[in-house]
Every structure is written in structure tokens, then in C-alpha cells.
Amino acid sequence: MIKTGDQLPDVTLYEYNNDAGICAIGPNAFSVRERCKQKKVVIFGLPGAFTPTCSERHVPGYVAQAQALFAAGVDEIFCVSVNDAFVMNAWGNSLQVGDAVKMIGDGNGDFSDALGLIQDLSARGLGRRSLRYAMVVDDLIVQHVAVEAPGKFEVSDAASVLAALR
């Protein structure tokens, strides 16, 4: 499992944006390491798009705290889930995240797996999913990581990450 002081793994993730009504070509692949190089990035992961806690509390909390996180030196905020980039984009649009949070698809779970933060929810019909977590990465090095216990939402919220940055 990823821990403070570890380097971010080099995995390809996917993002889809349909800016200003222009028909976008995508999903757009990017290297996590290239995107996070020389930046401070908050990455939070969650079990799935359109799920209750994720939609009602986790993502909205980061949208609400985005300006405070940016003021604390964060360059980008990533929401990562084991969903495809199209689903993540539709979910972000439904939650009106705007430019505050980048909705990132980890469709095959490769990033979550590389972090050691994958769980098998097949018994509940959900397949392999990400654990709920949040981390602060500064120039590819994990400065803070908080992983939730199963069924909990106590340490990966935006307010907790903001407190860790101070």
C-alpha cells in the first residue's frame, strides 16, 4: 500500500472533457507522473461514480473546498474512480464540478492496483473498485495519505486534507 514518502507510480489514466460544446475527442490518456511532475496535487479515490456517499458528500466536499485547497498551494485536484472517462465526465457534469475537480477514469483499476488501494466488491456485484482514500502528492512524492476503513468516510474528505496541508 502506498505510504508517505513513496513516489507516485507511473500509470496511464484517462480524462474526457467536452469544453464549451465542442465535440471532444477522447478519452484523453495521460501519464500520472508526467501530469503531477513539479506540481502539488490532491488525489482522492472512491469506490464508484454515482454512488451515494461519493455523490452526496465526497466529491461535493472537494468542490466546496477547492479554492481553499488552491490557496494552500494545490495545483490540481483529481477524483479517481474505477470507471471509464466518459462516466467520470458525465458524473462530474451532473455534480457541476466545473474546473474545481478533474474527474479521472481508472477504468481497469491499474492506478488503484499500483497504489495497493484496490478492493474486490464482486460479492456485491461491483467488481474490483478503489478503496476510499485521499493523498497529497508534491512533485511525485506522497506527502500525506489517508485510507478509509471499510464503510467509513472520516479521513479522506476535503476538510481533513486541508488540515493536513496546514
Architecture field, domain 6-165: 3-Layer(aba) Sandwich (3.40)
Q: What is the DSSP string of 71-99?
A: HTT--EEEEEESS-HHHHHHHHHHTT-TT
All cell numbers assigned to 137: 502528492
Kindly list the domain boundaries of the chain, sorted by start residue: 6-165
Where does the pLDDT of residue 121 fall: very low under 50, low under 70, confident under 90, or very high at 90 and above? Answer: confident
Specify the pTM: 0.93
Give the separation between CA 166 and CA 156, rounded to whole angstroms: 15
pLDDT tens digits along 1-45: 999 999 999 999 999 976 655 556 678 999 999 999 999 999 999
Active-site residue list: 54
Q: Which residue has the higher pLDDT, 83 or 20?
A: 83
H helices within 37-157, ranges in order?
A: 52-53, 59-71, 85-94, 110-115
